[in-house]
Structures are given as structure tokens and as C-alpha cells.
Structure 1
Amino acid sequence: MAETSSADRKKAGGRAGPPAEPVTGPVGPLGAVAAEFAGTMILILFGVGVVAQVAGAEIGDHDSIAWAWGLGVTLAIYVAARASGAHLNPAVTFALAVFRDFPWRRVAPYMLAQTAGAFVAALIVRWNYSEVLAKADPGHTIKTQGVFSTLPGNGELPVGTMGGLRDQIIGTAILLFLVLAITDARNDGPAANLAPLMIGLVVVAIGMAWGTNAGYAINPARDFGPRLASFLTGYGGAWRDQYGDLYFWVPIIGPLVGGVLGAGLYKTLIGRFLPGRDEPVPEPAPSPARVPAEPA
């Protein structure tokens, strides 16, 4: 097992988000926060926008939603990676602070910027699709609340609060495990700055495989920002689910717990066995079946 220094861990993320330490030379902390705001706004413009199109105008389906979310993630990472590391997600920021030496003093500013970016993007979508949503759901009920925020069972299936919480923990654990695998410079990551595309495909896969129970928020900012925007623009029941239970906390707590779990599993199962960046890669031990027998 190879041990890595703190410096190695800080470098392990690579340039295409999220590295452990953002590039803040000429950019500075303010530039990093601005990049998190802008990147998350781009993400939500595509993600919430496609759901509004499907729910309000019946153009598209579950697969188009998953693809738009994934492409939104890819484009958002390209926007913010150089300046901030493109976390775009409080669960990512929190997990990197726990396991990748991301400075704790930057956690709150990053999370606030991410949530603000999601909030502003949701307001833009709400404004743009106001006529369509009003026609589809004049009372602004649970029918179109899912455009902006997630619901257990997507508001229709028999999934409750605990089912949604379980789903969010698992889904975000998968996300962080794979994001760290893709961006770990000691691992065989994608070349030619393709990490954003691969992370986007991870989100597509999660949407297609883990989207039924809770709408794959896997990002507290993605859910809370648009949920607040919808509440302020006519969705009075935005904080509750279809059963009338307070649900807004589930896509916050679940991803924060799941992100730490996924990052911890990556470190335990993969990261701690990888050599440092300047160490030779050890050859695997030969299988006993492949060791040539000694001549008689």
C-alpha cells in the first residue's frame, strides 16, 4: 500500500473538476466563488429547464431529462473548472473538505454561491416557462412542483421520506465515488480534458438507474435553490411532499451524508492503494496458475 503526502492529496484532483485545491492564483477566492455561482447557474438552467419543458409542454421524457442534466453538468464544469475546481454541489465541497484537504474556510462561501446560482437559474426558468406552467397547472400544485425540486417517488409512486433519504445517500455516494475516481491524477483518468464529459455521463447514468425513488437530486444546492425560487413565485407547498410531510431537508442531508460515504469508500478501497504521482506503479503479483512450473 502506497502512502501519499498531503501535497500529493491536494494535487490528486487534476484540473477538470473537482481538484482538491482550486486554482486561485490570479483568480483569487472571489473569482472562485463567482465561478461556483456561474457554473451552478448553467447546470440548473439546463436541468430545471428540461424538466419544465417535459412537465409543462410534454416535450421529452425521462431519458431526455437525464441527458440534459448530464450535459448541463459537463458544460458547467467547463465553465468553472479552472477558477474554482467546479464543485457545483455542496455535497462535493463538503466531501472534499473531509477527505481532500479542501480549506474549511471556503466551504460556506462555496455552498452559498452554489445555492445562489441554482436559485437565480430557477427564477429564470420560472419566468421563461411561466405561461406554459400556468396552463399545465394553474394552481401551482404538486403536479408541477417537481419541475423545481424533488419529491419522493417523483410525486406519484409509493415512496416516503425514509425511502427518499436512503435513495439520496446511495445516489450521492455513487456520484462522489466515481467523481474522485475520474479526477484522481494518480488514477488512469480520462485524457485531453475529457473529465467533465465523463462526470456528465455519470450523472446521466445515475438519472437512468437511480431516478425513480427521489428524482436524483444528489445535490443540496440543486434542490434547495429552485425550491426556494418556486416558493417565492407561487408554489406555497414547496417545502412539503405529496403526503404533506416536510421534505425539503431530505435532498440536503441525504447528499451530504452520501457524499462523505462515497468519498470515504473511494479512499478506503482505491485511493490508499494508488502510488504517489512520482512513484512507479507496482506490477501486480502473477496468478499462481500463470507461474511456469520448474523443470523436473
Structure 2
Amino acid sequence: MLAQVLGAMTASAVVYANYKSAIDVFEGGSGIRTVPGYSDTATAGIFCTYPAPFMTKTGMFFSEFIASALLMFLIYALKDEGNIGAGPLTPLGLFFIIFGIGACFGWETGYAINLARDFGPRLVSYMLGYGHEVWAAGGYYFWVPMVSPFFGCAFGAWLYDVFLFTGASPINTPAMGLMRLTQPRKSVWSNSERVQV
């Protein structure tokens, strides 16, 4: 997780270094850095995601939730060799999945389907002088890409496990694995037989 965030921070710093002169011209000066919702010439959207003005807080959360649940569900479908899977075409399938998610949900929330994609570049834009607005924009939207994808991915994985996965899984047991909570016995909790030493 740390490597992904640091990688996204490095990439956004490289983008800033490459486009600094263009950003200066577009913003109207070398010391001017603005955020969407606070200026018509905002450039902070280059680095991290900002919701469309019409999005409500609930809509933002569920848009991210659905996008990440769909992503996880389809990744499992691509990799599940027990249910055909995509085999060597997995990278191409993943490209179409991410492209489709971006085409459907990108306009609303800017393609933020994981924490690293948004938090790392947002932190860099804050350090570059875009100010407190990087956190306050969109009604403090910054927390949504940090939380919602975790819930969405867990839900997408659960959906795949319930409806399509045929292998060994706690979900594929009587009462969807809830017996483990109601019957705290070793025979219920153990997935393997006892090994004698």
C-alpha cells in the first residue's frame, strides 16, 4: 500500500515538473494554484480527483463503492480458472474493465477507484501550493476514495463468492459461513483436518 501511494506521489511530481510552465500560463501566473470549485482555471484536477458539482455526498460514496465493487467482481471473474477465466487475455480484459469503469463513472468522481490513485497525488498537490482547498473541495470529498473502495472491493468479492465461485470458501458452506460465529467449536472453525504429530 505504501509503495503504491509513494509511486503515485512520484508520478504526480513528475507530471507537475513536466507541465509547470503550462500550468503557470493556464492559471495566470507562477504563484497561482487553484482547485476545481474555487476557480474557472483550476489545475488541481490534473493530479487527483474532484467530484462533479452536481454530486451529493451520498452519491459520491456510492459511485466509488459501485465502481470498486464492479472492478473486484470482474477481476475475480477474469482470474477464476474454475469458471473458465480469461487466461492469457487477462491483461486485455482488465484494460477493458478499467476503461469501462472510467467511461461510466469517471465524469462523476474522476476515476478514483483506489486510495493510491487519489491520496498520493492529492498530498503532492497540497505540498506544491494548491492549499487547504485540496482537502475541502467537494464538501471534503478527499475521504471518499480512501474509504469507499475498501468497502466496494469487499462487497464485489463477496458477490462473486456467493454467485459464481465454486471452490473452497467460507461463503460456500452452510449458512454462508455464519455458523462459525454462532457455533464456536473447533470442528466448525477448522478448514483442515487435525494433523497428528
- Aligned equivalents of 1:270, 1:251: Cα separation in 2: 27
Q: Secondary structure at the match of 2:108?
A: coil
Matched, 1:202 2:97: yes
Q: CA shift at 1:213, angstroms?
A: 1.9
Q: Report Cα offsets for 1:211-256 as digits up to 9, x if no partner.
A: 22211211110100000111111211211214xx322111110111
- Mapped contact 1:173–1:258 kept (Cα < 8 A): yes
Q: CA shift at 1:274, angstroms?
A: 5.3
Aligned to 2:130: 235
Matched, 1:127 2:17: yes
Question: Equivalent pairs: percent with the same residue?
Answer: 38
Q: CA shift at 1:202, angstroms?
A: 0.3
Aligned to 1:287: none
Counterpart of 1:211 in structure 2: which amino acid? G
Normalised to the residue count of structure 2, the TM-score between the two structures is: 0.75
- Aligned equivalents of 1:207, 1:169: Cα separation in 2: 14
Q: Secondary structure at the match of 1:194?
A: helix
Q: Report Cα offsets for 1:45-86 as digits up to 9, x if no partner.
A: xxxxxxxxxxxxxxxxxxxxxxxxxxxxxxxxxxxxxxxxxx
Structure 2 unaligned spans of 5+: 36-41, 170-197
Aligned to 2:50: 151
Matched, 1:175 2:65: no
Aligned to 2:155: 261
Q: CA shift at 1:198, angstroms?
A: 1.1
Q: CA shift at 1:268, angstroms?
A: 0.8
- Aligned equivalents of 2:167, 2:100: Cα separation in 1: 26
- Mapped contact 1:163–1:213 kept (Cα < 8 A): no
- Mapped contact 1:152–1:161 kept (Cα < 8 A): no
Higher helix share: 2
- Aligned equivalents of 1:275, 1:161: Cα separation in 2: 38
- Aligned equivalents of 2:21, 2:89: Cα separation in 1: 38
- Aligned equivalents of 2:56, 2:23: Cα separation in 1: 26
Aligned to 1:73: none
Aligned-residue CA RMSD (Å): 1.7
- Aligned equivalents of 2:33, 2:60: Cα separation in 1: 23
Structure 1 unaligned spans of 5+: 1-110, 277-296
Counterpart of 1:145 in structure 2: which amino acid? A
Pick closer, same or farther for the CA change 1:275–1:222 going to 2, 3 Å: same
Aligned to 2:34: 141
1:247 to 141, 149, 173: 141
